[in-house]
Every structure is written in structure tokens, then in C-alpha cells.
Structure 1
Amino acid sequence: MYNVKKVNEDLYWIGASDRRLALFENIYPIPRGVSYNSYVILDEQTVLLDTVDKAVSGQFFENLEHVLGERKLDYIIVNHMEPDHCAIVEEVVRRYPEVKVVGNAKTFTMMKQFFTFDVDAHAVVIKEGDTISTGKHTLAFAMIPMVHWPEAMVTYDAYDKVLFSADAFGTFGALNGNVFADEVNFKEEWLDDARRYLVNIVGKYGVQVQAALKKALTLDIAMICPLHGPIWREDLGWFIEKYQKWSTYTPEDHNVLILYASIYGNTENAADVLAGKLADAGEKNIAVYDVSVTDPSYLVAEAFRCDRIVFACPTYNAGLFPKMETLLHELAAHNLQKRKVAVLENGTWASTAGKQMKEILSSMKNMEICENTVTVKSALKENQLEQLDQIVDFMTKETIA
């Protein structure tokens, strides 16, 4: 049975959600599922904007057939060639053999790599600033390379002032009947997944996201239609401001984040004692995570959110505890910067974790690193509490700009 939502007079959402998928891109946990958004404009000519993942293709085709009715499909616009949005392009072409496929030159290079149909016979190659008129709607195209693939682009409908934003402004989470952000408690229930989506998927490409935002802000936008998550028609400025912060690596909250690895609980104890001392010093909303328990995607998102971070780790095989080492490399790979950080190490004999953590942190941009490394010998002792106080003093001083 079809499941279609009317977005405005001529625009329809025909996507679908997947609540069974455990890992997005086979790496990021999605306990709340994910939506794959696709849209149709019914004008003098009909336009399909992107498709969906193969897993929900049955629902998609029922939706598309219902919306089109007896009409043919004139255009399919491919804003992003990643398989969760284009896996069934070839099947669309087979079902609607007269359709014109719209994309940029890089789009079609990738399309030929994925599919075997005669791409050139259907291709309409556009470039930055080109437009297509479908009747009363005029669709304009802008390139947003590396947000988050090199062929990515957006489509702007000047008639309804709608931005079809590809992966930009998307979020993890299935759509549960409500397809608009103003119909859900987005700030309380969706923001964490929006942050985790953005910083993990395109956190490395902050400069490219900024370039895309500059293009978007020149447009008169009344609605943003992303490829994942709810559609924005209210309070757009609030969400755009979040993207401004995340893509410039600007801390979102003035909070301390403690990330620890612990084998037998002694490093965990030191982290908890430090958290208590920070609370005594007036810090609120302190976040503490065991890096062996929490998936790195959540920790990367928390590191983007908070302005101050403590890393606590035991030495393991003369190196870093593997889960902490993985996390630190993830943070570096996602270009984390502009944070105050401190380090706590633990070791029963030759402790080297502190030095190795600082080496990785020093490779990141604009990081203010506490000179004092707290070294725990197996278990925290009372005479080391003053060393923890040094971290507290460092963390509670004025934050770097």
C-alpha cells in the first residue's frame, strides 16, 4: 500500500523508513532507524528528486506509481549518487524508459560505474547555475562537492522556494508519520542524531560545508527537503546555525566531556573522582563515557558538542588502550579542533599512554593542551588528588576562543 505525504500544492514526499537496519553505512548504529527521502513535483512535466535505498524500494515504487497515476515520468534529478539514494535509478529508467536523468558530469561518471544501462541515452548534464523549467517551476542547480561525495549537488525550486539539500540538513531516525520537523520534538528527541549524523558523515569536510552554506544563504528558502530525516519549513535559522557551529568546529555547549578507557576499573575511578571535583568547582552537565561501551560515532558527536575534553587511558602493550586509540584517530580524522584538552594516564609499570595521547592531540588544530599529565600508578592515591585539581583549574579557566 502506498504511503505518500503531500508537502505543498505540487510537491509530494514518496520516501520510506527502515527500522530494521542496525548500522548506517555498515558502521554507525541507528537504533531509531533511518528515513530515505524522495520527492515528486507534479507540474506540466513531472520530476522525481532522488530515489531510495534498495531495502525500501518496494514501498518507493508503490508511492511513485500512486503519485504519478497515469502520467509519465519526465525527469529524475540525482542530487547524490550514494547507493542509499540512487540504488534503484536503473530500475526507475527501466520502468519509465522515456525519463531524462539530470545530474552533473561527475554524477554520470559514477552512474556508469554502478549501473549497466545506457546512461548517455538518458543523461541531461547540468553545471553550476543551470536551470530546468517544468512549467511554473524553475529548478536551479548548485554544486556542493564533498558534502559528502564529490558529485553532490542541490536543487532549488524558485517557485516554491524549496531547497532539495541532498545529504545536507539530514539526520538519523525513521519518520513516524510526521515528516516535518515542526511536527516532532526535534530539539529534545532529534538534535543528538542530527549532530551525530553531520559530524560523522561530513565532519572532516567543514570547509566544504561552509561553502555550501554560503551558497544556500544567498537563496530565499522557505523549506529544506533533505534526503534523511524531517523536512524543515519553520525555524530554519535555528538549524542552519547548528550547521554553522558544527562545520566551523565551534563548540556548541560550555561543558566538560570526560572520555575514559579502563581495564579493571581503576582509571574509571580516577575519571569519576575528577568529575566530582569538577562538579564541586561549579561545572554542570558534565558528560562521562566509557569508550569501550559507547560507539565512537556518539563520542565524536559529543566531542564536537563540548568545548573541554579530558582523556583518561591506561597503557596497554606499551601503547594506548585500543578503544581509546581508535577514538583519538577518529577525532583527528574528523578534523576536531578548537578544544581545551587534558590527559590522565594509568600504568602499573612503564606508563606511556599520556605521551601518546598528547602526540595525537597535538596533530589537531588549535588545541589548548594542559601541560600537566596526571599519572596514576595502578590506582589513584590520596596524594594525587592535587594533580586532579590542576586539571580542574585548567578546565575552569576561560575557554579558548
Structure 2
Amino acid sequence: MARKITDKVTWVGKIDWELEEFHGHEFTTRKGSSYNSYLIRDEKTALIDTVWKPFDEEFVANLKREVDLSSIDYIIMNHNEIDHSGALPALMREIPDTPIYCTRKGEEIIRGHYHADWNFVNVKTGDRLSLGAAELIFIEAPMLHWPDTMFTYLTGENILFSNDGFGQHYATESLYNDAADQGELWAEAVKYYANILNPFSPMVARKLAEIQKLDLPLQLICPSHGVIWKDNPAQIVEAYAKWAAAYQENQVTLIYDSMWNATRRMAECIAEGIKEAAPETTVKLYNAAVDDKTEICTEVFKSKAILIGSSTVNNGYLYSIAGILEMIKGLKFKQKKAAAFGSYGWSGEAVKQLSEYLEKSGFALVNEGLRCPWQPDETKLEECRAYGREFAKSL
């Protein structure tokens, strides 16, 4: 159902209550998501973005109830990943000659997805498109989070259509940030940044500075996932500035997997030692084999240091640890410390390999790690607590 935002702007997107995973199986979306599309009506009519492919026919049918499709003068594609452009082929079957405004890279990606020769108009930062009383101003935002991404600003209404910037995978009827559950909203916002935008933090910081220099008044920030920032939209901009600056809280996160619980017991005792030495520090433990990988990466983002633990198996570490390490490496966390630990039987290579991988992933190693043969006895468990205490002091 379409929902009016201002006299000129109407939300025509789709709330996806059932979505549980995104980007294949990479990102878990326990709170669902939304695909926000916006219809702007002035002397000319523009549509900003579409929705995900599974909802393409529904999207076009709903759009027909809201507007005569032939009256749409321009289609603005801020970013062309399929969750935003998926309904474009169905829409273009109805209005095939309508110009599509996007970056040059955006045209390349749309052609790569759909192999169609539509009427593309390439735009760059500073280009303007008159709708009558209002104008659209285009702002390229490459690698936030794809190379084709741009923002679109609507004058008069003072709205920034930011696509994946400032978004959240969050399904809610509330539509606006001030009406949403604040705990859920901010948890999803930080999770979204940590798992999608953090690798591009230097570009985020530069783009925020560029937008600030443009000195555009902001009444609303309308992303393509989650809520619209209506109440104090500057707060999410300020949060992004903070998150982009090698963000960390006073937190240590331990991530482990364990074959016969020996490494688990080590993790718990190391955590006890950290808390003894630094009671004000938040300490969290996650089993990579069973806990939500997107949540784990979010906690790494929030941490000033992490410890990775694994049993040694087949002269290496467990595959659940390999998987989460690959995700952590790809997210390019900065200015965080790390160490490794684990139990072993007769070879014990895992800790050394984990240390090497952490260092290669940009973490500063606190020490060479801690190994424990077989099941730790009370002496070894006390050694783990002491290790935790020393680790805390090193921070």
C-alpha cells in the first residue's frame, strides 16, 4: 500500500516480513527488511528505485493503482543490486521508453543484469534534473556500497534519497524512525553498517564530508531499506561519522569452536580472567558453529579486541572458524587487537595459523597465543584465567 510522505513524495515500496537471509546466506535478517521505492510528483513525475525481483509484478500492480505508468517521466536508479532494480524489467515492459537516470557504472550493471537496451541517461555529482518547482540533484557515492551507487537530493522538500546509505534490514509498519522501537532500530542500523558498509569506511567518511560541504538542508533521509529518518535525521549521519572512524567500544569478544569442549572451557576461563582484570569491560563469547554469524561480525565491529579459539583438526582449525575469519577479514576492521587460543591432541598447529591469519587481516597481535594439550585440568584452566588477565592489561 502506498503511503504519502509529503505533498510531493509517496512511498511505493514493499515490506518483507519473512526475509531471514540476504546476499545469499551471508547476512541474516531476523527482523526482515523493506525495499523502499519513492514516487515524486511535481510538473514532472519521477520514480526512485524499485524493489526486489520476487515482488516485481506486485510492485508494478500497486504502482498502477497509485499513478498512470505512462505519466512517469523519469526513473532514477540510485543503485542497481537486484534488491533495488529487480522490478525494473517488469516496469520497463509497461513503459519501455522511459529514461533511466543512473551513473555510468550503474548503466553497466543494469545491462549486465538484464541485457536490455533501455534509454539510459548517465549522471554525475552536481547534475540536476528539473521536475518543475523542485529539482533533483545527483551525488555520486561509489562504494557505498557498490561502484554504481549515488544519492539523489530533492530540493524544496529537502529530502536525501540515500539508497543503501543510512539503511537497516528492518521490517516495520512504523515507516519513520521516531515511531520505531529504538532498541531494535539502532541494533539493526549498527549491524547494517558493520556487515555492509564497514569495508568502505574511508569512502563513507569522505562522502559525509562532501555532503556537509554542499550545505544541503535535510528534512528527511529516505534510504532504500528500513525506516525513513524524520526525527532529527542528522543523528544517523553523526552515527555514520563515528562508525567510519575505526569504531570500537570497551568490549572484548571471544569467538571459538570446540570438538570436545576443551577449547570452550579455555574460552570461558580466559573471559573470567579478562573480567577480573578489567571489570568495566564488556566481554562476550560466541560459538562460531551455532551463533549467528552476522551478529558475531557486529560484535567484532564494536570490540577493541577479539580472541579466536579452535581445536586443531587435520593440522588446521575448524571450518566454522575458517568461515567467520573469512568474513571478518573481508570487513576490514581497523585498529583492533587480537590473539588466538585452542586445545589440541598431538600436533597443535591451529593457534599459530589463527595468529597468522588475524595479523594478515589487519589485527595487531597481543601475543603468540595460548595452547592447551587435550582436556585442560584445573592448573591449565587457571593458566587460561591468568592469560585473560594479562590480555586485559595489554589493552
User: Do Structure 1 and Structure 2 share a fold, with TM-score over 0.5?
Assistant: yes
Aligned to 1:167, which of 158, 164, 169? 164
Match of 1:73 in 2: 72
- Give 1:314's match in structure 2, choosing from 296, 299, 311: 311
Q: Is the 8 A contact 1:343 1:370 kept in 2?
A: no
Q: What is the one-letter code of the residue matched to 1:10?
A: K
Is residue 388 from structure 1 mapped to residue 385 from structure 2 by the alignment? yes
Deviation at 1:22, TM superposition (A): 3.2
Indicate conservation of the 8 Å contact 1:372/1:390, yes or no: no
Deviation at 1:244, TM superposition (A): 2.3
Asked if the contact 1:340/1:395 (under 8 Å) is kept, the reply is: no
Which residue among 251, 258, 261 is the counterpart of 2:257?
A: 261
- Is it true that 1:192 corresponds to 2:190 in the alignment? no
Whichever residue aligns with residue 255 of structure 1, its letter is Q
Residues 255 and 283, structure 1, Cα contact 8 Å, conserved in 2:
no
Q: Secondary structure at the match of 1:149?
A: coil
CA distance, structure 2, for counterparts of residue 201 and residue 150 of structure 1: 14
User: Contact 1:73/1:98 (CA < 8 Å) preserved in 2?
Assistant: no
Task: Say whether residues 1:111 and 2:106 are aligned partners.
Answer: no
Extract unaligned runs of 5+ from structure 1.
Answer: none
CA gap of 1:292–1:70, structure 2 versus 1, over 3 A, is: closer
- What letter matches 1:179 in structure 2? L
Deviations 1:138-182 (A, max 9, x none): 11111111112111111011211111101111111213x210111
Q: Secondary structure at the match of 1:217?
A: helix
Is the 8 Å Cα contact of residues 18 and 56 (structure 1) preserved in structure 2? no
Which residue of structure 1 aligns with residue 212 of structure 2? 217
* Deviation by residue 1:16-44 (Cα, 9 ceiling, x = unmatched): 12223332121222222111000011111
Give aligned pairs, total.
390
- Structure 1 vs Structure 2 CA RMSD: 1.9
Moved over 3 A (4+): none
238-247 vs 342-351, greater mean Cα deviation: 238-247
State whether residues 352 and 368 of structure 2, in contact with CA within 8 Å, keep that contact through their aligned partners in structure 1.
no
Correspondences of 1:329-344 after superposition (within 5 Å): 329-344=326-341
Query: Please, which of 19, 22, 28 is the counterpart of residue 21 of structure 1?
Result: 19
Using the TM superposition, give the Cα deviation of residue 99 of structure 1 relative to its aligned residue in structure 2, in angstroms: 2.3
CA contact (8 A) 1:311 1:344 kept: yes
**Offset of 1:116 from its aligned partner?**
4.4
**In the aligned structure 1, how far is the partner of 2:186 from the partner of 2:178?**
13
The alignment partner of 2:289 has SS state of coil
Give the aligned residue type for 2:335: K
Distance 1:389 1:195 in 2: 33
Q: 2:224 & 2:390 partners in 1: Cα distance?
A: 45
2:29 corresponds in structure 1 to 30
Verify the 8 A CA contact 2:70 2:95 in the aligned structure 1: no
CA deviation vs aligned residue, 1:310-330 (integer Å, no higher than 9, x gap): 212111110111111221222
Q: Distance in 2 between matches of 1:388 and 1:294?
A: 24
Matches of 2:185 and 2:393, distance apart in 1: 30
CA distance in 2, matches of 1:341, 1:194: 25
Compute the TM-score of the two structures, normalised by the length of structure 2. Answer: 0.93
Aligned to 1:94: 93
Cα pair 2:251 2:304 within 8 Å, conserved: yes
CA displacement at 1:104 relative to structure 2:
1.9
Q: Distance in 2 between matches of 1:65 and 1:299?
A: 42
Partner of 1:53: 52
Letter in 2 for 1:309: I
Structure 1 Cα separation of the partners of residues 326 and 299 of structure 2: 15
Relative to structure 1, the CA distance from residue 98 to residue 350 in structure 2 (aligned partners, 3 Å threshold; closer, same or farther) is closer
Distance 1:127 1:368 in 2: 39
Q: Counterpart of 2:131 in structure 1: which amino acid?
A: T
Is residue 179 of structure 1 aligned with residue 175 of structure 2? yes
Could you tell me the TM-score, scaled by structure 1's length? 0.91
C-alpha deviations, 1:313-364, integer Å up to 9, x for none?
1111101111112212221121122112222121111111111111011123
Which ranges in structure 2 are unaligned for 5 or more consecutive residues?
Answer: none
Aligned equivalents of 2:179, 2:70: Cα separation in 1: 31
Q: Which residue of 2 aligns with 1:85?
A: 84
Match of 2:151 in 1: 154
Picking from 129, 138, 146, the partner of 2:135 is 138
Counterpart CA distance in 2 for 1:374 and 1:244 is 36
Q: Which residue among 239, 251, 265 is the counterpart of 2:236?
A: 239
* AA aligned opposite 1:20: E
Q: Distance in 2 between matches of 1:203 and 1:98?
A: 38
Corresponding residue SS for 2:30 = coil
- Cα drift, residue 58 of structure 1: 3.7
SS at match of 2:163: coil
C-alpha distance 116-257 of structure 1, shift in aligned 2 (>3 A): closer
- Secondary structure at the aligned position of 2:250 is classed as strand
Match of 2:225, SS state, is coil
Deviation at 1:11, TM superposition (A): 0.8
> 1:131 is matched by which residue type in structure 2?
R
CA contact under 8 A between 1:16 and 1:60: conserved in structure 2? yes
Secondary structure of 1:235's counterpart equals: coil
